[in-house]
Each structure stands twice: as structure tokens, then as C-alpha cells.
Amino acid sequence: MTTLVNYRVEDGLALIGLARPPVNALGQPLRAAILDACERAAADASVQAIILHGAHGLFCAGADIGEFGSEASFAAPDLPNLLLRLTALDKPLIAAIGTLALGGGLELALACGYRISEPDARLGLPEINLGLLPGAGGTQRLPRLIGVEPALDMMISGQPIGAGRAFELGLLDRLASGKESLLDDARAFARELLDQRAPAQRTSRFANPAESVAADFLSQFRAANEPRWKSRLAPRLVLAAVEAACNLPLAEGLVREHELFKEAEASKQSAALRHVFFAEREAGRIPGIEADIPLRRIEKVAVIGAGTMGGGIAMNFVNAGIPVALLEQKGEALDCGLANIRKNYEISVKRGKLTAAQLEQRMELLFGTLDYADLADADLVIEAVFEKLEIKQQVFRELDRLCKPGAILASNTSSLDVDVIAASTSRPQDVIGLHFFSPANVMRLLEVVRGKATAPDVLATTMKIAKRIGKLPVISGVCFGFIGNRMLEPYSREAHRLVLEGATPTQVDKVLTDLDLNMGVFSMLDLAGIDVNFLVRNSNRAAFAHDESYCRLGDELYAQGRHGQKTGRGFYLYEGRNRQEDYEVVALAERLAGELHVPRRPVGDQEIHDRCLFMLINEGIQLLDEGIALRASDIDLVWINGYGFPAHLGGPLHYAEQLGLDKVLAGIQHYRRTLGGYGEMWFKPAALLERLVAAGRARIEKI
């Protein structure tokens, strides 16, 4: 017997413990081992019932994601057939679920005749997050067990449910009394079943799942949800599989599910989402720094600045139970900042996400102060003051004077030079950049900016604390704008220039949202504030002093007080949240084009796509070559989590790989040739892109 499962027989019960750490992913070797163990138990006349459990507690996190797209995924025994065999066993088979049962792991439990779980376990079908559908009977068996509506909800949301809810729904037959007692309770349950001469499989609650919902339920569900699915394939395939569950006998439904699963697995969207899954785990690894490096203790945090950003940052720590000192210059601003935080929590209470008692507990962890001396015992200080170098340097000088030795001093700058900020202290090794995205209590991305002198343990501690507060930290080197905002520059430059050449903001934005980006460039600028964008541009004017033409549009809107959504006018006109094209902006673009001698012409959608996206991709590849980003996949994460790039395209660099790097390079060269002086100035292919194409590489990596 292979060591992937532990097998033992006790008093007529076979215990099969899955033992493939860390999460018992159902790769081919584990599937084969489960099958062997079950056949052994089936053939052993002394075995009356079988208990399947996680040998180290955790039951199973599903199929081995690394196998998808390869032959191993369907190598015998494939998961659907393994599970079919389990349903045919003539001895009761009980899944004893510890910690979690996800995806194929839950489908494994569904193929068992009975299920018991520890009370804190989570159960879910998160395949949709990987562009897949449950492909081992889940779409057919779950609706038969708990009804169509809750089953569909689990599959479409991808969100796991707690064991208590699963018990209410009939997904579990029993709840164990505690984590430790799971196996004992499973044994007792097995004995009860044997005493009652219970069948190996109990009959499904909904032999015909269609009867669990109204006749038009699925069509109504589709109509209500399709718009927000945009071009995502997986939700549509899930729905098709559930329709099959409603219309076909189980055996035929399983065949249909398998066809739909194969379609999903072969899709570019699933490949992209699987790339994102592994990218997120890879982002936490820091080359050259051992995983077990001793970390600094972070028990008290201080945030300087109680504005929107500082307040949001403080909330992250408080939410994780870490006390925060919040510093402001004036009592009024401090009161206002604290009141805003309370208001935010009150909204969460209204939405049922927080209790009133939890709100008070969180507010108690916040300590407002006007006195820098109160920061002296903080382990981590995050500065979130006005984005001006001199002001930040001043703050860091003060921190250097006051903070205890070993405290980590972080700047929440979105673009400034962290090395210059660090140089204003006598301890640059303790200084790091932490670029939170707004709203800081909501957005998952955190750019962790490693300065020239940042000590390895400061970086590692920061990555760890970022995860503790629920962020996705991505490491960036020092450059203007770091990874995200530096890439935003050429992307947004093309958008502006295209409007000068004859496109409208609506047309540009539509091309981008048709690609499923959350927002187009111009809606994003209107939301973030044209004034904010103007200030950032001003702090880096030297970089485009040789051609400021494309900035003129934004500069003029700024000068006219059209600062975006907050002033009701920006690139668009706003009535509440509704926006419409503003013909004054179109006329302004025409006038500026005349002054700048930019020829006007109709601009096609493909050109908008190629110019915006190829320049974005090109800058990303350049950042990788310069070593600002550690990996191409880190860049993808930044754009997915900070700028609304669709995860099902895998991020801009994965998207470039799917388009073909030669195509991207050819596009950049085309515009270099055809856009005259402007093309020559800005359409310069990244040297790494040229090297990759010359070497015939399909993947973006540093060579």
C-alpha cells in the first residue's frame, strides 16, 4: 500500500486516511491510492463500513490544480470514475471531514454514502474561481442532495459555507461535537448505520432536482446574473450543467457535466485563472531570503495621517486585532478621521457584516493622538501624509528621532523615491514603502517597495504582516510609480493621445470595458480625480518634457476645475453616478489637436485596443527587465488587484502571452513606423520583448 493513504481496520471499520500534504490535492497517485484502499476494504469480509478522512486533519482541497491542462488530469483512475466506483460500493462509506472539503474534495465526500464533519469545517465548490465547474459529479449530485437553489449558489459564488449551514442544508448528516472528536464521532456514526442496517448510499432528497425550484427558476437566474458575468465562460457552463441535472437522469447528467468540464478546462480563461492561483502563492516567495528568517514582532502599529488613506490603513490593522495609534496635526482633523472610521464600521453593522459590540471593540483598538511622542513604542509606523517629498522627508526625520530601535518605518507613497525618503533617516535599513490602494480598507493589493538598503527581515516581516491583515503583497523595486502606476502612465498616455487623434473618451473606455476591465481609463481618472492625476504628473514632468502634447487635455480640464466625478464634470458629465459623453471635451480635444498639429481621423477599436494594451504590456516587460518586478506574474497580480484588469485574462502579461509575443512586438513596431514623430518617440519596444521574440519564447521571463 502506498504511503499516500493510511489504511487500518478496527473492529470491522476500515479507516482510510488521505496523507498527501499540504492539502490532499487529488492528483493521479492519490486517486489511485484511494481506489486501491477502497477496493481492499470492499474485498475484506471483516470490513463492514469504511471511513474516509484526512490523516492530518484537513480532508481535501480538491483536484490537483497543477495537473489541469495535462494528461495527468484524466489519467486513470480519473476523478469522475473513481467517484462512480465509490458510489457503487456495497458497504457504507462515510466521509469524515476535517478543516475543509473543497472542489473535488467535496465531490469526493458527495460520492460517499454519508458525511460527518467537524463543526468549524468549511465546505465549498470554488472551481468557478479557476474558470472551471465541479467536474466529478458535483453539479449533478449536489442539487439532488440539497436542491437546485443552494447548490447553484455554492457553485456560482465559489464561496465555501460553514459546517453548520451545510448541516442545515442536508449536505452533512452529522456534526461532530468538536475537532478532536471527529474520528470517534465518525466511528460511532458508522456503528449506528450498521445497527440500523442502513443502505450503502441513502436515497437523494431530490430524485428530480427540478422539483426543488419553480419551473422558470433557471431562466430567471440566467437573466438576472448574465450581465455581471460579462464574457466569463465558467458561470454559463455551471448553469448548463445544472440544467442537465434538472433535465436528465443522473448517468446522462454526469456525461454532460464531463463534456462541459472538458470545455472549461481547455479554455483560455481557465488557463488564465489557474495562472493567477499559482501567481498569488509565488508572490510570497522572496528570492534570496530564507522562508524561516527570524521576523520582527509587530504588536503595535502607528499611522500618520487620519485622512481617507490613513484611516483606511488603520482599519486594516484594527480589523486584525492589532492596536493602532493614529496621529494627526490638528484635533479637528483627528476627530474627523476617527468619525469617518466609525462611520465606515457603522455601514458594516448595517449590512450585518459586523456586530455593534465588534464595532466598539475595534474602535477601542484605535488611539488618536496629536503627539509624535506617542509613536515611540510602535513596532511599525506607516506614514500617509500629503504626497510631497519634502513633507515626507520631514516626517521621517521626526520618526528617526523618536521611534524605538528596530521599528519598521514605512511610507505609503504611491510614486516617490523610497531611497530618498530612507536617506533622511539614520536607519535606511528599517525603511520600506507600503503602497496601499484606495479605499485602503477594501483593496486587496499592497505594493511592498523594497529600498536599496531595506533589510531582509524588514521585507519578510512586512510581507507577513501584510498577509495577516488580508492583503496580497507584491514586491516592487524603487522607480517612479512602482509597478502599477508606472505602467498606468503609457496606458493612459495612449488613451489621451487617441482622443486627440479623433477617438472619444466613451469609445476608448468601451473598448477597454468590452475586454472586461472594470473601468476604462477616463472613468478611472474621473473617479480618482483629475486634480490628483495632475499633481502626480507635476511631480514627474521632467520624464515627458520632450513631448507634453498628450498631457494637455488633462491639464486643461484641471485648469477648468473639471476634477472628475466629485465636481460633476471631468472627461464625462455626471448626474449622480450616471455619466454621459461631454461634447465640450470632444471640442476641447479638437482645438488642442489643431494647436498641436495632431491630424484628426476616425480611430478604429482595434487600434485603441492595441495601442493602450501593447504599451501597458511593453512597460511591464521593461519593469521585469529592470528588476523592478521580480516576476511577470507579480505584474499580473498588481494589475488584476489594483487596476481592475480581468482575472480571467490572467493579467496584462499573461494576456500578452495568449495574444502571442510576436504579435505584440509587431504591433508596437507598426505604430512606431506609422505614427510619425510621436510613434518614434513613444513606441519603443522593450529590449526584453525583442530578445524573447528573437529567441522564439512564448512565456515572459527574464532572459
Residues in the chain, overall count: 703
447 catalytically annotated: no
Q: Which of 39, 67, 71, 107 is catalytic?
A: 107
Indicate the residue among 94 and 234 with the shorter CB distance to ligand CAA: 234
Q: What distance in Å separates the CA atoms of residue 59 and residue 172, rounded to the nearest whole number?
A: 14
299 catalytically annotated: no
Contact 613, 619 (CB under 8 A): no
Indicate the residue among 107 and 501 with the shorter CB distance to ligand CAA: 107
Q: How far is the CB of 158 from ligand CAA (least distance, A)?
A: 8
Question: How do strand 578-581 and strand 572-575 relate by DSSP bridges?
Answer: antiparallel
Provide the residue type at 528 as one letter: A
Cβ-proximal residues to 663 (8 Å cutoff; 6+ apart), any chain: none
Phi, psi of 295 (to 5 degrees): -100, 160
Angle between helices 331-350 and 356-364 (to 10 degrees): 150
Q: Which helix (H) or strand (E) holds 657?
A: helix 652-659
Three-state DSSP string of 232-276: CCHHHHHHHHHHHHHHCCHHHHHHHHHHHHHHHHCCHHHHHHHHH
Indicate the residue among 50 and 79 with the shorter CB distance to ligand CAA: 79
Indicate the residue among 241 and 589 with the shorter CB distance to ligand CAA: 241
Binding site for ligand CAA (CB under 6 A): 22-23, 25, 61-66, 79, 102-104, 107, 126-127, 130, 132, 134-136, 138, 281
Indicate the residue among 61 and 403 with the shorter CB distance to ligand CAA: 61
Burial of 84 (0-12, 13-18, 19+ CB in 10 A): middle
Q: DSSP labels for 142-181? A: HHHHH-HHHHHHHHHH---EEHHHHHHHTS-SEE-SSSTT
Q: Given its phi and psi angles, is residue 438 left (phi above 0), alpha (psi -120 to 50 degrees) or beta?
A: beta
Q: How far is the CB of 348 from ligand CAA (least distance, A)?
A: 24
Q: How far is the CB of 20 from ligand CAA (least distance, A)?
A: 10
Which stretches of 3-162 are assigned E, i.e. beta strand?
5-10, 13-18, 49-54, 93-97, 100-102, 114-117, 122-124, 161-162
Q: What distance in Å separates the CA atoms of residue 411 and residue 649, rounded to the nearest whole number?
A: 32
Provide the residue type at 500 as one letter: L
Residue 367's CB is within 10 A of a number of other CB atoms, namely: 15
Indicate the residue among 494 and 636 with the shorter CB distance to ligand CAA: 636
Q: What distance in Å separates the CA atoms of residue 408 and residue 433, rounded to the nearest whole number?
A: 10
Q: How far is the CB of 120 from ligand CAA (least distance, A)?
A: 14
Q: How far is the CB of 252 from ligand CAA (least distance, A)?
A: 19
Q: How far is the CB of 121 from ligand CAA (least distance, A)?
A: 12
Contact 525, 567 (CB under 8 A): no
Residue 76's CB is within 10 A of a number of other CB atoms, namely: 10
Q: How far is the CB of 81 from ligand CAA (least distance, A)?
A: 12
Nearest in space to 672 (alpha carbons), one of 664, 681, 663: 681
Q: Where are the alpha helices (DSSP H) in 482-582?
A: 482-501, 505-514, 521-528, 530-538, 552-559
Q: How far is the CB of 268 from ligand CAA (least distance, A)?
A: 17
* Cell triple for 427: 536607519
Q: What distance in Å separates the CA atoms of residue 265 and residue 511, rounded to the nearest whole number?
A: 27
Q: Which of 39, 118, 127, 398 is catalytic?
A: 127
Indicate the residue among 25 and 692 with the shorter CB distance to ligand CAA: 25
Indicate the residue among 70 and 219 with the shorter CB distance to ligand CAA: 70
Q: How far is the CB of 255 from ligand CAA (least distance, A)?
A: 15
Indicate the residue among 129 and 492 with the shorter CB distance to ligand CAA: 129
Indicate the residue among 79 and 472 with the shorter CB distance to ligand CAA: 79
Q: What distance in Å separates the CA atoms of residue 88 and residue 111, rounded to the nearest whole number?
A: 9
C-beta nearest to ligand CAA: residue:
103
Q: What distance in Å separates the CA atoms of residue 151 and residue 130, rounded to the nearest whole number?
A: 18
Q: How far is the CB of 66 from ligand CAA (least distance, A)?
A: 5
Residue 685's CB is within 10 A of a number of other CB atoms, namely: 19
Contact 552, 525 (CB under 8 A): no
Q: How far is the CB of 48 from ligand CAA (least distance, A)?
A: 30
Indicate the residue among 262 and 401 with the shorter CB distance to ligand CAA: 262
Q: How far is the CB of 265 from ligand CAA (least distance, A)?
A: 9
Residue 603's CB is within 10 A of a number of other CB atoms, namely: 18
Nearest in space to 395 (alpha carbons), one of 416, 366, 364, 367: 416
- Helix, strand, coil shares of the chain, percent, nearest 5, are 55, 10, 35
Indicate the residue among 162 and 679 with the shorter CB distance to ligand CAA: 162
**Active site residues per annotation:** 107, 127
